[in-house]
């Protein structure tokens, strides 16, 4: 196995292994590399859906996404399609996945089925680098804060997202928002690093604060978390797999593929409480 860093801050490309045949020992090694680099990239892989699921289960139980679970497909798998003409896409703002849950997923495995010849890249940002670069005064202020996370901006009938993109989400009248509060600074359970844990898709306000009171500081933290020096950019090709640590990174899908399709298969891995 060879490991090549993707940038100075976050990400590593792993070569020399076949993800269809990952031993218990290699699973542990990859878990360590994930904690170290935040996101791992694997090129020239060939995995069908069952093999993709088998790989995910080596790292934990499969997480069922509540809003993409629309009843018309395998609930363990989300196919993320960007079609020509889409005016919105999944993941187009800086986010950490599904953080409105009481126990957000620990990570995700995203596999490229179709990739555009140009565009459709994904950006990743290290949230331990973002924390480390804060002033001591800011760290002290944030240490006791919690933030309320909600899915009201990314699902439900009021957003009408399904009319704007190929990948559909629950918009039925029975949908209700899910909300939970998490520490603004979380501790990674394996590396022990402190990580900034707020994101544009789900973070609403600080616990005990109004949204208006929260907005100036929260907006600043959201922008701070993806300063260029904390990021890497990854270009997809068919057969590429990305495995990101949802506890220590955030990411963004770039909506610039023009007339080309982008089709990805994603499986999320269940996590634990945010501490």
Residue 35 lies in a domain: yes
Would residue 251 show up in a list of annotated catalytic residues for this protein? yes
Instruction: Tell me the residue range of the domain where 238 lies.
Output: 2-269
Question: Pick the catalytic residue: 165, 247, 255, 266?
Answer: 266
Residue 212 lies in a domain: yes
Residue 275 lies in a domain: no
Question: Pick the catalytic residue: 82, 149, 251, 265?
Answer: 251
Chunked into runs of 10 residues, the chain (275 residues) has average pLDDT values of 97 98 97 98 98 98 94 93 96 98 98 97 98 98 98 94 95 95 98 98 98 98 98 98 98 97 98 97
Per-residue pLDDT, 72? 83
In whole angstroms, give the CA distance from residue 126 to residue 124.
7
Per-residue pLDDT, 70? 87
Residue 250 lies in a domain: yes
Per-residue pLDDT, 38? 98
Would residue 48 show up in a list of annotated catalytic residues for this protein? no
pTM, whole model, 2 decimals? 0.96
Per-residue pLDDT, 80? 96
Residue 21 lies in a domain: yes
Per-residue pLDDT, 184? 98
Q: Tell me how many domains the chain contains.
A: 1
Would residue 95 show up in a list of annotated catalytic residues for this protein? yes
Question: Pick the catalytic residue: 52, 82, 86, 97?
Answer: 97
Residue 61 lies in a domain: yes
The first and second tokens of residue 76, run together, are 């363990």
Residue 264 lies in a domain: yes
Residue 274 lies in a domain: no
User: CATH number, domain at 48?
Assistant: 3.60.130.10
Would residue 226 show up in a list of annotated catalytic residues for this protein? no
Per-residue pLDDT, 146? 98
The residue among 86, 6, 124 whose CA lies nearest residue 256 is 86
């Amino acid at each position: 196995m060879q490991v090549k860093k993707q940038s100075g801050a976050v990400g590593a490309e792993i070569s020399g292994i076949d993800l269809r045949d990952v031993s218990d020992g290699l699973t542990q090694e990859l878990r360590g590399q994930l904690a170290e680099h935040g996101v791992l990239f694997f090129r020239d892989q060939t995995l069908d859906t069952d093999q993709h699921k088998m790989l995910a289960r080596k790292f934990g139980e499969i997480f069922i996404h509540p809003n993409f679970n629309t009843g018309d497909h395998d609930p363990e798998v989300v196919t993320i399609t960007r079609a020509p003409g889409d005016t919105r896409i999944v993941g187009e703002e800086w986010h950490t996945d599904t953080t409105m849950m009481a126990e957000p997923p620990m990570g995700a495995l995203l596999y490229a089925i179709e990739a555009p010849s140009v565009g459709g890249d994904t950006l990743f940002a290290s949230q331990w680098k973002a924390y480390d670069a804060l002033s001591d005064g800011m760290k002290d202020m944030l240490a006791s804060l919690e933030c309320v996370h909600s899915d009201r901006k990314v699902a439900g009938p009021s957003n009408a997202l399904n009319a704007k993109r190929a990948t559909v989400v629950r918009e039925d009248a029975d949908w209700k928002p899910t909300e939970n509060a998490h520490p603004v600074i979380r501790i990674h359970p394996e590396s022990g690093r402190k990580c900034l844990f707020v994101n544009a898709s789900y973070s609403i306000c600080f616990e005990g604060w109004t949204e208006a009171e929260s907005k100036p500081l929260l907006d600043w933290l959201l922008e701070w978390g993806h300063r260029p020096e904390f990021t890497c950019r990854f270009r997809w090709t068919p057969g590429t797999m990305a495995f990101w640590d949802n506890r220590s990174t955030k990411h963004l899908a770039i909506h610039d593929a023009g007339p080309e399709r982008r089709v990805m298969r994603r499986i999320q891995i269940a996590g634990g409480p945010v501490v």
